[in-house]
Chains A and B, each alone.
Chain A
Amino acid sequence: MTTKTQEEKASTRDMAGLLFGDLWDYAPAPESTEHVRYAQRYGHFINGQFVDGKDYFPTINPATEEVIAEFAAADEAEVDRAVQAARNAYDGVWSKMKPAERAKYIYRIGRLIQEKARELSILETMDGGKPIRESRDVDVPLVAAHFLYYAGWADKLQYAFPGARVSSLGVAGQVIPWNFPLLMAAWKVAPALAAGNTVVLKPAETTPLTAMKLAEICQEADLPPGVVNIVNGAGRTGAAIVNHPQIDKVAFTGSTDVGKIIQRAIAGTHKRLTLELGGKGANIIFEDAAIDQAVEGIIQGIFFNQGHVCCAGSRLLVQESVVDEVVQKLRIRMESLRVGDPLDKNTDIGAINSRAQLEKIHELVQSGVDEGAKLYQSSCSLPERGFFYRPSVFTEVAQSHRIAQEEIFGPVLSVLTFRTPEEAMKKANNTPYGLSAGIWSDKGSKLFSVAGAIRAGVVWGNTYNQFDPASPFGGYKESGFGREGGLHGLKPYLEVR
């Protein structure tokens, strides 16, 4: 037998008497990057062409800290060219095209994404740090599903809103975050195109790579020039899009702070706005829940995508009678999480997206320790290079702690307790956010009554972080407004009369 003997076990740790060591360890299983193609330098994608830019900045692989490629930061003039291209495409081609023809292009984009799924998954993982298991099994399949879903609506808009007349808005300016780069692009572009609008999209400055692949796919699909324009850059570029007078609709996913700036900036203009912002999702575990599966749901809720998820279940509310059992089982489960090379097919938790984000996580965790919460971290070893953070759980957390109120956006869970369903609902709602929540109970009546009382756009029952193109997603309160996905997701891109 080639496994190690009990005596040779190098890194084991006693978890309630259970040993999660390397008696039989998984050999490295890195996904090969040999077949992926990308340029060393990207400007912008305007009017169907890749154009050079100026002021190049690097995008790095957060797992290795190596530069992948350089990207240009668009200034106001370049953004203006992109908006003009989108305007011309809207007036000249896209708004006049038969809806069934429009649908064909969107469908073709979806099919091309499926064909290139492997390459897109690898690039997404290289640029953003998320495990290949997730980009391969979650992100990219959902991206394709989104395009295919909205392709279906393109020629059925009049049936989508019975009794009303619908028409497109014009040019949509869309700014997306770094946590699900390609998926957020799909959430924005697919419904906009299906509704008959043209777009100017800006990917996040730390994860622009797959958006450029999406641009290539638009070319390959023969999408008419100017229907999709993608400009690179950071906040200044985003502001130029938002403030451009020829933009008819702004869609933003990102932080609540920036969302507020955007809302102020376009107040008093004709621009429509949807915002999908931060969250501090409550994941509520009742004592009658299937505890082992609830623990799995807690893990999915907070450690999916390193916790870089706006709807993450980052506030765990556990009924006092089962809190010891839940926390113990959670700690045991955390020991089998594999943190490391995102390209390894056995990695569960990849790299933190950027140094800045890693520092923010460190700072918030320190505040939790300083404020008196009890920190527990898994014993896994971390790679020497790259931005990594151990799966972490805080117990003895109070609602007043920063770690219970602020979005950490990392693999850090705060555990609070409650005694009655009323208290659970009250605590779940006691936050300026309202994006998501989870409820775990074997009792159907309780599940539905609590779900109805939670002020959040998405409430999952006995599951967490499930997404589907047909299902609307969006926030209450400071988590934003407007919905993406499903029929609801078409409305912000349409004039419904």
Chain B
Amino acid sequence: MQSYRLPKIPTVDQVQVEARAASFTKRSIKKETKRAALEMAIQMMDLTTLEGMDSEGKVQMMCKKAVQPMIGRPCPSVAAVCVYPTLVGVAKRALEGSQVKVAAVATAFPSGQSFLPIRLEEIRQTVAEGADEIDMVISRGAFLSGEYARIFDEVAASKEACGEAHLKVILETGELGAYDQVRKASQIAMDAGADFIKTSTGKVSEAATLPVTLVMLEAVRDFYMQTGKKIGVKPAGGIRKAKQSWHYLVMVKETLGDDWLTPDLFRLGASSLLNDVLMQLERLETGHYQSNLYFSED
């Protein structure tokens, strides 16, 4: 079998991509447009808890919030919960009867520094526990050493291990060091069969940013134009405010168009974003900001 070779891909200009990303924050999002954005943000959210201290109780409570983020008024459910592999079973049972999916981080998250057979076995067991989606990490060390074929092979093997489950490939852009590298990593992940490409683990200080996500959206657009395959994008980490969520939605709308404005192709990975979105929805409803004491911390 011939080993993977990275195809020719466009370079990225740092100054200009950052300027373009900043331009999306200038859109004025008001009234009905804001309400729709907030509801979309909930529907596209992967409500996440990834702590060493996560327990069954914590995950059960988060799942309740995922299904019904707000009591007392109609509110959509989030897209998925995102947990560690050992808690997939708990989440699956807690979400029974709902549309909310279970995503799990696997492959020696967050570093990926383990043996490939172990990482693949982790995926298989996690899927067997009932995970609908697997969020894997790439081996950044190998990537930065230029071992692109190895990254390709690992992602392809992970995809195979996923079976029916969807595969999200975490590039950990904060460790890649340049937009050009983000673009390369996106290409390799898509070539190897990723269903989604995701920015970050949330465990590295520079997590999702607008320009990094824009580079990934542009990679997805070019891949779609070349192959006809629609790949999803998931910025994760550092998205805490409702306003940030519509900056991302504006960017998706103006880069990839309407088709990507769906949880099937765009997700926001976040843990504390949901309450800020709910607070903004409440304000649209009542005209007042409520104290954050009125929003449950689950």
> Which listed residue, B19, B33, B221, B225, touches A26 by the CB 8 Å rule?
B33
Segment with Cβ contacts to B, from A10-18, A104-112, A205-213, A249-257:
A10-18
Q: How far is the CA of A299 from the CA of B17 in the complex (A)?
A: 14
Q: Is A29 an interface residue (CB 8 A)?
A: yes
Q: Which residue of B lies closest to A337 (CB)?
A: B254
> Which listed residue, A1, A12, A17, A328, touches B224 by the CB 8 Å rule?
A17
Task: Determine if B15 and A462 form an interchain contact, defined as CB atoms under 8 angstroms apart.
Answer: yes
Q: How far is the CA of A9 from the CA of B259 in the complex (A)?
A: 11
Q: How far is the CA of A18 from the CA of B39 in the complex (A)?
A: 23
Chain B contacts for A346, CB-based, 8 A: 27-28
Task: Determine if B228 and A24 form an interchain contact, defined as CB atoms under 8 angstroms apart.
Answer: no
Among A1, A24, A294, A442, the most chain B Cβ lie within 10 Å of the Cβ of: A24
Interface size grouping (class) on chain B: 35 or more
Chain B contacts for A137, CB-based, 8 A: 26
Whether A291 contacts B10 in the complex (CB less than 8 A), given A21-B257, A133-B26, comes out as yes
Chain B contacts for A6, CB-based, 8 A: 258
Chain B interface mostly: helix
Among residues 33 to 83 in chain B, which have CB atoms less than 8 Å away from a CB atom of chain A? 33, 35-37, 39-40, 43, 76
> Which listed residue, A3, A18, A25, touches B40 by the CB 8 Å rule?
A3
Chain A interface mostly: loop
Q: Which residue of A lies closest to B246 (CB)?
A: A24
Task: Determine if B258 and A336 form an interchain contact, defined as CB atoms under 8 angstroms apart.
Answer: no
Whether A24 contacts B249 in the complex (CB less than 8 A), given A12-B258, A19-B259, A345-B28, comes out as yes
Q: Which residue of A lies closest to B221 (CB)?
A: A18
Q: How far is the CA of A6 from the CA of B253 in the complex (A)?
A: 14
Among residues 216 to 269 in chain B, which have CB atoms less than 8 Å away from a CB atom of chain A? 218, 221, 224-225, 228, 249, 253-259, 261
Q: Which residue of A lies closest to B31 (CB)?
A: A27
Task: Determine if B249 and A1 form an interchain contact, defined as CB atoms under 8 angstroms apart.
Answer: no
Task: Determine if B257 and A24 form an interchain contact, defined as CB atoms under 8 angstroms apart.
Answer: no
Chain B contacts for A1, CB-based, 8 A: 36, 39-40, 43, 76
Whether A24 contacts B261 in the complex (CB less than 8 A), given A1-B39, A1-B76, A462-B13, comes out as yes
Q: How far is the CA of A25 from the CA of B35 in the complex (A)?
A: 12
Chain A contacts for B10, CB-based, 8 A: 290-292
> Which listed residue, B19, B28, B249, B259, touches A18 by the CB 8 Å rule?
B259
Whether A3 contacts B36 in the complex (CB less than 8 A), given A290-B10, A292-B10, A442-B13, comes out as yes
Task: Determine if B11 and A288 form an interchain contact, defined as CB atoms under 8 angstroms apart.
Answer: yes
Q: Is A167 an interface residue (CB 8 A)?
A: no
Chain B contacts for A293, CB-based, 8 A: 12-13, 16-17, 20
Q: Is A23 an interface residue (CB 8 A)?
A: yes
Task: Determine if B17 and A17 form an interchain contact, defined as CB atoms under 8 angstroms apart.
Answer: no
Chain B contacts for A15, CB-based, 8 A: 257
Q: Is A463 an interface residue (CB 8 A)?
A: yes
Whether A26 contacts B261 in the complex (CB less than 8 A), given A292-B17, A293-B17, comes out as no
Q: Is B285 an interface residue (CB 8 A)?
A: no
Whether A463 contacts B15 in the complex (CB less than 8 A), given A18-B257, A24-B33, A25-B33, comes out as yes
Q: Is B30 an interface residue (CB 8 A)?
A: yes
Among B11, B26, B28, B36, the most chain A Cβ lie within 10 Å of the Cβ of: B28
Interface size grouping (class) on chain A: 35 or more
Task: Determine if A2 and B35 form an interchain contact, defined as CB atoms under 8 angstroms apart.
Answer: yes
Q: How far is the CA of A77 from the CA of B16 in the complex (A)?
A: 52
Q: Is A481 an interface residue (CB 8 A)?
A: no
Among residues 164 to 178 in chain B, which have CB atoms less than 8 Å away from a CB atom of chain A? none
Task: Determine if B28 and A290 form an interchain contact, defined as CB atoms under 8 angstroms apart.
Answer: no
Task: Determine if A24 and B36 form an interchain contact, defined as CB atoms under 8 angstroms apart.
Answer: yes
> Which listed residue, A17, A26, A292, touches B29 by the CB 8 Å rule?
A26
Whether A442 contacts B11 in the complex (CB less than 8 A), given A2-B39, A27-B32, comes out as yes
Q: How far is the CA of A21 from the CA of B221 in the complex (A)?
A: 16
Q: How far is the CA of A9 from the CA of B254 in the complex (A)?
A: 16
Q: Is A76 an interface residue (CB 8 A)?
A: no
Among residues 412 to 469 in chain A, which have CB atoms less than 8 Å away from a CB atom of chain B? 442, 462-463
Chain A contacts for B30, CB-based, 8 A: 27, 29
Q: Is A410 an interface residue (CB 8 A)?
A: no
What is the CB-to-nearest-CB distance from A74 to chain B, in angstroms, rounded to a whole number?
39
What is the CB-to-nearest-CB distance from B210 to chain A, in angstroms, rounded to a whole number?
14
Whether A290 contacts B32 in the complex (CB less than 8 A), given A1-B43, A1-B76, A9-B258, comes out as no
Q: Is A20 an interface residue (CB 8 A)?
A: yes
Chain B contacts for A336, CB-based, 8 A: 253-255
Q: Which residue of A lies closest to B37 (CB)?
A: A24
Q: How far is the CA of A332 from the CA of B27 in the complex (A)?
A: 19
What is the CB-to-nearest-CB distance from A146 to chain B, in angstroms, rounded to a whole number?
22
Chain B contacts for A16, CB-based, 8 A: 225
> Which listed residue, B20, B36, B221, B249, touches A296 by the CB 8 Å rule?
B20
Task: Determine if B225 and A17 form an interchain contact, defined as CB atoms under 8 angstroms apart.
Answer: yes
Q: Bits for A229-246, please: 1 = Cβ < 8 Å to B, else 0.
A: 000000000000000000
Q: Which residue of B lies closest to A6 (CB)?
A: B258
Chain B contacts for A2, CB-based, 8 A: 32, 35-36, 39
Chain B contacts for A19, CB-based, 8 A: 257-259
Q: Is A128 an interface residue (CB 8 A)?
A: no
What is the CB-to-nearest-CB distance from B257 to chain A, in angstroms, rounded to a whole number?
4
Whether A463 contacts B256 in the complex (CB less than 8 A), given A23-B261, A137-B26, A288-B11, comes out as no
Among residues 89 to 118 in chain A, which have CB atoms less than 8 Å away from a CB atom of chain B? none
Q: Which of B's residues lie within 8 Å of A, judged by CB?
A: 10-13, 15-17, 19-20, 26-33, 35-37, 39-40, 43, 76, 218, 221, 224-225, 228, 249, 253-259, 261
Q: Which of A's residues lie within 8 Å of B, judged by CB?
A: 1-3, 6, 9, 12, 15-27, 29, 133, 137, 288-294, 296-297, 328, 332, 336, 345-346, 442, 462-463
- 9 contacts across the A-B interface (CB closer than 8 A): A9-B258, A17-B224, A17-B228, A20-B257, A24-B249, A27-B30, A293-B12, A345-B26, A346-B27
